[in-house]
Amino acid sequence: MTNTNTTDSNARKKALTDRIMLRWQAAQAERGPWLGLWQQMADYVRPNRSTVKGRMDAPSLAGFESVFDGTAISANMTLASGCMSRLTPAQTPWFAFDPPRELRQSDAAKRWYAECSEIALEALATSNFYTELHEAYLDRGAFGTCCLHVEGTMKHPLNFKAHDIGTYAFLNGADGMVDTVFRELTYTAREAAQVYEVKELPECLQRVLLEPGSSQQGERHDFLHVIYPREDAERDGSKMDGANKPIASVHIHVKTRTIVRVGGYEEMPTIGSRYLRWGTGAYGICPTWQALPEARQLNELQKNLDVLAEVAAFPRLLLPDDMEGEVDLRATGTTYFKDPNRVPREWLTQGRYDVGLDRVKARQEAIKSAFHVELFQMWAAITKQMTAYEVGERAQEKVELFSPTFTLLSTEMYGPILRRVFSLLMRQGVFPMPPEEAVHQNERGMWAVSDPKLRYTSRLALALKAVNNQALNRVLGMMGPVMQFNPAVADNLNWDVAMRDIALNEGVPVEWMPSEDEVGQLRKARAEAQMQAEGMAAGGPQGAGGAK
In 246-376 the beta strands, taken as DSSP E runs, fall at: 247-253, 258-265, 270-274, 276-277, 284-285, 317-320, 334-337, 345-346
pLDDT given at position 54: 53
pLDDT given at position 68: 81
pLDDT given at position 394: 60
pLDDT given at position 148: 96
| Nearest one of 157, 176, 189, 30 to 421, comparing CA atoms | 157
3-state secondary structure 365-415: HHHHHHCCHHHHHHHHHCCCCCCHHHHHHHHHHHHHHHHHHHHHHHHHHHH
pLDDT in tens, 172-195: 998 889 999 999 999 999 999 999
pLDDT given at position 270: 96
Pairing mode, strands 221-229 and 95-98: unpaired
The answer to whether 235 touches 243, Cβ cutoff 8 Å, is yes
Give CA–CA dist 160/127, Å, rounded: 8
- pTM of the model as a whole: 0.78
Give CA–CA dist 293/297, Å, rounded: 6
Largest CA distance in the chain: 132
Residue ranges of the chain whose pLDDT lies below 70: 1-5, 50-51, 53-65, 313-314, 316-317, 319, 322-337, 339, 344-356, 379-398, 400-401, 443-445, 464-471, 500-512, 515-516, 538-548
The answer to whether 100 touches 450, Cβ cutoff 8 Å, is yes
Three-state DSSP state, 248: strand
Could you report how far apart the first and last alpha carbons of the chain are, in Å? 98
pLDDT in tens, 25-67: 999 999 999 999 999 899 899 988 766 755 445 445 555 567 7
